[in-house]
Amino acid sequence: MRHARERPHRLAVRGPAGGLDYAALAERVRGAAARLRRRGAAPGALVALGLADPVELVTAVLAADLAGATPLVGDPAWDPARWARVAGDAPVAVLVREPLPAAPGPLAGAFPGADPAPSDLAWACFSSGSTGRPRAVLRTRASWTDSFPHLSELAGIGGDDVVLVPGPLVSSLYAFAALHSLAVGATALLAGGRPPASWVGEATAVHTVPHRLPALLERPGRLRAAAVGGAALPPGARGRARRAGVRLLAYYGATELSFVAADPDGHGLRAFPGVEIQVRGRDGDRLGEVWARSPWLAEGYLAGAGGPLRRDGDGWTTVGDLAEPYHGGGVLRVRGRGDGAIQTGGATVVPEDVEEVLRTVPGVGDVVVVGAPHPELGAVVTAIVESAGSPPPRAALEATARAGLDAAQRPRRWYALPSLPRTPTGKPARALVAARLAGGDPDLRRLT
């Protein structure tokens, strides 16, 4: 709203269907907020948003916030029944699946809004696809907005930039990028998927995931700054960025933790401003769990859903990521997720969610899902099916995956075993399966 007053004709957002300057965006947000209030979005209520157009989605997010509600961003492909499943026990006041029309006349201009406070529950999003076990992460306003100045300084992104946001806003990484761009007064190019080549040429900054970076660096155009998170940088990325004249910020975090560590200069990940880090492991262990304490932590999961987030009594939080031993002020060397969660192309996939769906395929005795290393995506989702006889056809497995899983969750590689290795309690031994896969176990049969 401040930018609408001070720079009304500055382009705020552009999407595939067009753009809005700051004045027009502010008026659209006011009108949409009034419309939401009429539909029952009282202060503190949950407003579920499933809009395909990224400009309409950002407008609805800001409108829900202006109305004092909590926006919950989901997949635009979800129908009302799927929304009911993923929201679980959370009381959704309004479900928005069509663009919000602005309320006409004086109501739009006179909308009173709600008094924003740092402790408002101002954001909710899904940390991964949530088939069977929803995990929507709740976040206070301050846990995002107070980190904006730190990101601006580390990445060198400011109000005169044109920021390319190449992915869907259902991802918290890209949603954060879009709202940070608007907060600083920049122009946000919201591609919602693969950006047009002309947009890449216009952008002076980008906030993205590692596997998209090489293509951007091949033809950098005006690009001068890149913030990259979600997985480790691909080999040679920093050198290519340097040769292209692009300032590169790599960072590590999680949907539940937000920023944990950042590497602005290639010297390794160090604690993000305001963050304390511990790596907790037993003496003699090569790796331990990463714990963080900071102002940027999420409040938890919507409706008390379970998930990898754990807390201790002193304000420390973990999602089970593993790292080498760490000394305060030093470099953090992250080595993966201890609970088996898979980081693929900036998305977090929980194996149990995928396994639950695949077990419904006739002929599947059991299944283990792991991440197989990938040079660009970080990992690819890989399913190992237990079948005493002939395993089900790959086509049947893929059809079930398409019907019940979001795109990031669907396995890209498939194997079969006559019998999965198991722990003493009878559970499939995920770590052993992953080791056998990495070691090229000849008993693992590739399904084609």
- What token pair was written down for 86? 């993923």
Q: Which residues, other chains included, contact 245 with Cβ-Cβ below 8 Å and sequence gap of 6+?
A: 220, 224
- DSSP secondary structure string for all residues of 102-167: PPPTHHHHH-------TTSEEEEEESS--SSS--EEEEEHHHHHTTHHHHHHHHT--TT-EEEE-S
Q: How do beta strands 310-311 and 342-344 pair?
A: unpaired
Is the domain 2-244 a CATH 3.40.50.300 member? no
- What token pair was written down for 374? 């990938």
Residue pointed to by tokens 């029309």: 101
Confidence (pTM): 0.80
CB burial of 54-67 (b: ≥16 within 10 Å; e: otherwise) equals: bbbbbbbbbbbbbb
| Residue 406, Ramachandran bin (φ over 0: left; ψ between -120 and 50: alpha; else beta) | beta
CATH architecture of 350-446: 2-Layer Sandwich (3.30)
Helix (H/G/I), strand (E/B), else coil: 310: strand
**Per-residue tens of pLDDT for the chain, all 448 residues:** 999 999 999 999 999 999 999 999 999 999 999 999 999 999 999 999 999 999 999 999 999 999 999 999 998 988 888 888 778 778 899 999 999 987 654 444 445 556 889 999 999 988 753 334 558 899 999 999 999 999 999 999 999 999 999 988 988 899 999 999 999 999 999 998 778 888 889 999 999 988 788 889 998 899 999 999 987 787 789 999 999 999 999 999 998 999 999 999 999 999 999 999 999 986 667 778 999 999 999 999 988 888 889 999 999 999 988 888 999 889 999 876 666 778 888 787 878 789 889 989 999 988 999 999 888 888 999 999 998 788 999 999 999 999 999 888 999 999 999 988 876 445 688 888 988 998 889 999 999 8
